[in-house]
Amino acid sequence: MSNTTALETKEKKRSALRSELLVPALAVLSGLILGAIVILVSGENPLLAYGALFKGSFGNPLDLIGGLQTYFSTGETRALLRAIYPFTESLVTATPYIFAGLSVALGFRCGLFNIGAEGQFFIGALCSAFVGYSIQGLPMIVHLPLAILAGALGGALWGMVPGYLKARFGAHEVVNTIMMNWIAFRLSDWLLNGPMKSSGFRPVTPNVLATAELPRIFPDPLRFNLGFFIALLAAYAVYWFLFKTTLGFEIRSVGANPDAARYAGMSVIRNFVLVMALAGGLAGMAGTAQVLGVDHWVGQGFSAGYGFDAIALALLGKSHPFGVVLSALLFGFLRSGATNMQSMARIPIDIISIIQGMVIIFIAAPDIIRWLYRMREVKKEETVLTRGWGS
Amino acid sequence: MTNVLELRGITKRFPGVLANDKVDISLREGKILALLGENGAGKSTLMNILYGLYKPDEGQIFVREKEVNIEGPNDAIAQGIGMVHQHFMLVPVMTVTENVMLGIEPVKNGFFLDRETVSKRIKEISDQYGLEVDPHAYIKDLPVGIQQRVEIIKVLYRAADILILDEPTAVLTPQEVEGLFKIIKTLIAAGKSIIFITHKLKEVLAIADDITVLRLGTVVGSIKPEDATSEALASMMVGRDVNLTVEKTPAKPAETVLEVEDLYVRNERQHLTVQGVSFNVRKGEVLGVAGVQGNGQTELVYALTGLLPFESGAIRLLDESIHRAAPRDILERGVAHIPEDRQRHGLILSFPIHDNLMLCTYYKRPFAKGISLQPQPIFNNAEELVKEFDVRTPSVYVNAGTLSGGNQQKVIVAREFSRPIELLIASQPTRGLDVGSIEYIHQQIVKKRDAGTGVLLVSSELDEILALSDRIAVMYKGKIMDILDADKTSKEQLGLLMAGVHPAEASKN
C-alpha cells in the first residue's frame, strides 16, 4: 500500500476518534443541562449552583491571579496554595477513580463485568494499611513500595477468586464479585473491630507510618500526592498492555469473540483468571492510593462507592484507559466541586448523583444523544468505522 | 398476461453504498421469477423493501397494477405478499399448528385458543398443495425439509398469493430440493406467483419462467431460461467470464496425514452426534465429507481441531495421537482450519484485518518479540496477504466486519494458507459466497492439494463435493454411510446415501 492510503486511514481514524469523543461530551453537556432544570424546578438558581460547582472544583480564577501576584511580589505562597487548593482536591478525588475505572474497563475488554471493584478496593486499602502501620524500621524506599504491593496483591486475590470460579465452574462473575463484595465488607467490619483496630475508641486502623505514606507534593493542607501520577502511569501501562502486547491481544480477542479466540488457540479460561486478577489489583491500588495518599487510616465504609462509580466511568470512558482517565477527572471535579456547591449555594450534593446518572443513561443509550442533537449521519458513519472501540 | 407485482425505479442508498439503483422487476401472474445475484448485489435489500422492512429512497411498488405503499410486514401481508426466510422463524418446542397461528391466534368462547380450526385449515392447505405436513407434530421432531413446508404453510395460511422464497434450497438434500420444486409447481398451478431468490444457477434454469440478474444494485438483465446457459448467467452475475468447473489433475496421494478410528463425539448438549467414524486422509488428496447439515459433521470437525473433546476412539495426526490436545497444540502440528461459521470462529469482526490475518500466530516471530507486538511486520504481512489473496478492502486497517462475506472468507483462507500446513480442514468453505469467490477458493484448495497437503473438505453442497473431492465419505446421523471414489459415483447415489439409504437397498424396494 502506498503512503497516501496509510495517511488517509490515519485521517479516518482521527475522525472516528472525534465522533467517538463527541457522544460522551454531549452526554455530559446534556446531563448538566438536565441538572440545571432540576435545580430550577427545586426553586434554586442553576447559574449560582454551577458557579459554586466550578469554584469548588477548579478554584476561583480571581483568587488564582491574586495568589500569583502575592507570590511574585512577596514570595509568599499561602494565598497561591489556597487558590489552587480546590483544583488539587479534584485531582485527589480523581485518583482512586482512575484506578477503579481502569479495573472495570480491563474487565470489559475481556468480556467480564467486574462489579467487585468495591470489595477489591476495600481489601487493597486494608492490606496497604496493615503493611503501612505494622512493619516498622524500614526506609521509605522499601516500605512504601511494599505497602503499595500489598494493596495490589490483596485486590488481585479478591478479583482472582471469581475469575477462577468462572474459569473452573462457569460460575458467573457478576454474582460472585457481588458476593466477594459482601465478604469484604463483613471481613473489614471484623478486622476493624478486632485485629486491626487502633488503640482508640473508633473502629479504625492505626495511622500508617510516615515511611509508607505517598509523598505529598505541596505543604499541608493540600493533600495532592504522588498517587495521582502513579494512577496516570497505571493508565498508560494498561493501555500498553492491552494494545501493544500479545497478552493484551489475547484479552481483547477473548472479549470480542471468545469462540474465535478458542479457535485461534488461546485459552479463554486462563485469560478470565488473569484479567480478574489484574482488575482486582487495579481496584486494590485505588484503595491503596486513598489510604496511603489521603487518609492514612482505614475506617468502616472506606470504599464509599468508588467501586460502583467505577462501572459508570468505565462505560463513560468506553473502556479505553485514556477515556477512563478523562471520565475519572470529570467525576473528580464533579464530586469535589459538589461539596462547595452544597455549602455556598445550598444545593444538595445529590444533584451531582442525578447529573452522573443522566450522563450514564445517555452513554448507555447513545441514540438519545444522537436524536437530541440530530446526529443521524454521524451514526451510520460511526457504526462502520469504530466498531469495537467501545466495551 | 398481467403483472401481479411490479417494482419501478427502486433506489435505496445506505451511507457510502448504493444498495439498489433504479431497479425494475416484474412478476407475471402465475409465474416463477428467479432473482439471481451475488451476495451484496442488492437482492436482500430489494426484498426487504418489498416486505416493508426498509423504505426506498425512490421508486414505486405496484401490486396488481395499483400503486401501494408498504410500511411494514403487515402491509405486505395485507397485499398478499408472503416471505419464506432462509433462516426459519419457527419455535421448535411448539407444534406446527401453534407455529402457524402465532401472531394471529384465533380464540373461541372469547378466551381459549382455537387450535382445532387452525389445524383443520392446515390439513386443507397441506392436502391441496401436497405438502404432507402433520399439524400436530412438534417442529423439533421434523426434518429441515418439512420445517420449510411449515414456513410455506404459514404464508399460505395468511392468504398470500405472492410468495418470496429466500434461498430456499440452501439447507436441503437433492431429494428434498426435488420435493420443493414439485410443491412450487403445485402452487403455480393453483394460481400463486413466486419470486425465487438464489445463487444456484442450475436451479434457476430448471424452474424459473423469468430470470432477472442483479449486480452491484442494478438490474444487469432479464432473460428467459431457454435462452440462457449456466455460463452466461454466471458471467452476468459476476461481470466477467467465470470458470464454473474446477480444473484439476488426478490426485497423487502419498502417505497418510490424518487417521480417524472409531470416533465418538458428544456435542455441547451431550448428544452423541458422531458415532463410530473411521477414515483417513492422505497427503495430496481431497477427502470430501458429504451430508445434510447437522449429521455430525460439525462435531467431527470440532473434535479434529480440538474445539470439542472426544468421547472415545482415536485421532492420529502424522502418526501421533491427539487425544485431549488443545487447539493450539493441533494448530502447531500443521493443521489449518477454515471454520464452518466464519463469523463465529473464523474472524473477530471488530478487529482490523491486519489483526485477523495473524490471529493464530500473533505470539510468534515476526509478529511478536517477547510479549511486545510488532506493528510493522504485522502490517507488512497483512499487505502481502491482501494482495496475494485478492482481498477487496480499502485498507488493512478496516475492521473485518465491514468486508463482504466473500472477502471475509478470503481473509481466513489467506491466514490459514500463510503458515506451513500438513492438513487442511475446510468446513463449508464457500457457504453463502458469490460465484467469483467460490471459483477463487476452489482453485486455492486444489492448489494446496497439489502442493501435497491433505485436505478434508466438509460441505453440504453436493456440487462442491463432486467438484473438489478425490474420495467422498457420506455422513448420516453421525455415521459414515460409505466412502466412494469420486469418479465412480453419481449425484443420485450420493443423494440417497445422504438420506440414509444404501443404493443397493433402494433398488431392492
Q: Helix (H, G, I), strand (E, B), or coil: what is residue A27? A: helix
pLDDT in tens, B120-145: 999 999 998 888 899 999 998 888 88
Q: Which of B14, B331, B349 sits opposite A265 (nearest CB)?
A: B331
Over 90: is that where the pLDDT of B95 sits?
Answer: yes
The helix (run of H) or strand (run of E) holding residue A19 is helix A3-41
- B323 pLDDT more than 50: yes
Q: Is B17 on the interface with A (CB under 8 A)?
A: no
pLDDT at A377: 43
State the average pLDDT over residues B82-101: 89
For A90-104, A176-190, B159-173, B263-277, which range has the lowest pLDDT when averaged over its residues? Answer: B159-173
Q: Identify the residue among B268, B344, B348, B393 best suited for mutation to test binding to A, counting A beta carbons within 10 A and taking the highest.
A: B348
CA distance A182 to B288: 57
Instruction: Tell me the torsion sign for CA atoms A381, A385, A387, A389.
Output: negative
Task: Name the CATH topology of B244-334+422-434+441-509.
Answer: Rossmann fold (3.40.50)
What are the tens digits of pLDDT across the range B326-349?
999 999 999 999 999 888 899 999
A257 interaction partners in chain B (CB closer than 8 Å): 344, 347-350
CB contact under 8 A, A256 and B394: no
pLDDT in tens, B342-375: 888 999 999 999 999 999 999 998 999 999 999 9
List CB contacts (< 8 A) between B349 and chain A: 256-257, 387-388
pLDDT value, residue B438: 86
Sign, CA dihedral B313-B317-B322-B326, equals negative
Taking domain A35-78+86-385, whether its CATH number is 1.25.40 is answered by: no
Chain B residues with CB-CB distance to A381 below 8 A:
15
Confidence at A3, pLDDT banded by 50, 70, 90: very low
Grid cell, residue A23, equals: 457522544
CA of A102, closest CA in chain B: separation in Å?
21
A259 to B373: CB separation less than 8 angstroms, yes or no = no
Which pLDDT band, with edges at 50, 70 and 90, does A229 fall under? Answer: very high
According to the model, what pLDDT value does residue A371 have? 81
Per-residue confidence (pLDDT) for residue B94, from 0 to 100 = 92
CA distances to A64, A340, B446, B455, B469 from B249, in Å: 85, 84, 9, 15, 11
Which is it for strands B312-317 and B479-485: parallel, antiparallel or unpaired?
unpaired
Min Cα distance B341 → chain A (Å) is 10
* CB-neighbour burial class of residue B112 (10 A; exposed 0-12, middle 13-18, buried 19+): exposed
Partners of B335 in beta bridges: B423
Residues 6+ apart with CB under 8 A from A336: A56, A57, A86, A89, A90, A92, A93
Kindly state whether B327 is in contact with chain A, defined as any CB-CB distance less than 8 angstroms.
yes
Q: What is the Cα–Cα distance from A94 to A286, expressed in whole angstroms?
A: 10
Does residue A386 register a pLDDT over 50?
no
pLDDT digits 0-9 by tens, B229-247: 888 888 888 887 777 678 8
Q: Could you tell me if B349 lies within 8 Å of chain A, comparing CB atoms?
A: yes
From-to residues of CATH 3.40.50.300 in chain B? 3-238, 244-334+422-434+441-509
Query: What average pLDDT does range B473-500 have in this prediction?
Result: 90
| Mean pLDDT in residue range B251-256 | 88
User: Which of the following CATH numbers is that of domain B3-238: 3.30.56.10, 3.40.50.300, 3.20.20.100, 3.40.47.10?
Assistant: 3.40.50.300
Question: How far from the centroid of its chain's Cα atoms is residue A309's Cα?
Answer: 8
Total beta-carbon pairs less than 8 A apart between chain A and chain B: 91
ipTM: 0.84
CA dihedral B98, B295, B344, B365 (to 10 degrees): 170
Unique residue bearing C-alpha cell 482415536: B314
Record: contact A256-B362, CB cut-off 8 A: no
Q: Which residues of chain A approach chain B closer than 8 Å at the C-beta?
A: 1, 5-6, 8-9, 12-13, 244-247, 249-250, 252-253, 256-257, 259-267, 377, 380-381, 384, 387-388
CB proximity B362 to A under 8 Å: yes
Say if residue B305's pLDDT is above 70: yes
Contacts of B331 in chain A (CB under 8 A): 264-265
Is the pLDDT at A307 greater than 60? The verdict is: yes
State the smallest CA–CA distance between residue A136 and chain B in angstroms: 38
- Asked if B384 has any chain A CB less than 8 Å from its own CB, the reply is no
Region A239-262 average pLDDT:
96
Q: What is the distance in angstroms between the Cα of A222 and the nearest Cα belonging to chain B?
A: 40
- Look at residue B391 and tell me whether its pLDDT is greater than 80: yes
Q: Which three cell numbers stand for residue B96?
A: 406446527
B267 vs B362, which has greater pLDDT? B362
Chain A CB within 8 Å of residue B353 CB: no
Whether pTM > 0.90 for this model: the answer is no
- DSSP one-letter code for B319: T
Contact check, Cβ <8 Å, A249/B373: yes
Other C-beta atoms closer than 10 Å to the C-beta of A135 total 17
**Chain A contact present for B416, CB below 8 A:** no
pLDDT at B237: 85
Q: Which of chain A's residues have a Cβ under 8 Å away from the Cβ of B372?
A: 244-246
**Looking at residue B59, what is its pLDDT?**
92
What is the residue-averaged pLDDT of chain A?
88
Cα B328 to Cα B338: distance, rounded to the nearest angstrom: 15
Question: Distance (Å) from the C-alpha of residue B281 to the closest C-alpha of chain A?
Answer: 22
pLDDT at site A5: 52
